[in-house]
Amino acid sequence: MEAIFAALVGALFTVAFYLFLSKHIIRVLMGAAILGNAVNLLIFTAGRVTREVPPIIGDGADMLTRAAANPLPQALVLTAIVISFSFFAFLLVLGYRAYQELGTDNSDEMRVAEPAGESSPPAGY
């Protein structure tokens, strides 16, 4: 089961980095969302995926007797989901505002800091 999740994490990272290389802002935003999901799945898979043994220590025991799922990565994933969703919402609003202001979502055409008709800044000091 973990091998399938590892392959899925690799595929999600590959798709996310491919989308990051795009010139269109909406694809970059989708890459950020997919990257967040890939990281969450990676953390979840690292905590061992098993349904048979709950992570509960029995009476009179100091530790788990059998291999069980680790609850800490699961709690971290729940927190990371909220953080990645808020980060994606912020990037979505930022991208939409840039589209409203500039009229394009192409990053090559968004060169407000480098206008086409002006000379280049000095190369050294």
Contact partners, residue 37, CB within 8 Å, separation at least 6: 12, 84
- Asked if the structure places residue 103 within a domain, the reply is yes
- Asked if the structure places residue 93 within a domain, the reply is yes
Domain count, the chain: 1
- Rounded to 5, what percent of the chain is helix, strand, coil? 60, 0, 40
Give the CATH number, domain containing residue 25: 1.10.287.3510
Expressed as residue numbers, the domain containing 48 is: 2-52+68-109
- Asked if the structure places residue 8 within a domain, the reply is yes
CA distance 87 to 81: 10
pLDDT band at 92 (very low <50, low <70, confident <90, very high): very high
- Asked if the structure places residue 116 within a domain, the reply is no
Q: What is the pLDDT of residues 33-69, one digit of tens each?
A: 999 999 999 988 887 766 666 667 777 778 776 667 7
Query: What pLDDT was estimated at residue 49?
Result: 67
- Asked if the structure places residue 19 within a domain, the reply is yes
106: helix, strand or coil: strand
CA distance 27 to 105: 10
Query: What pLDDT was estimated at residue 106?
Result: 86
CA distance 55 to 67: 9
- Asked if the structure places residue 60 within a domain, the reply is no
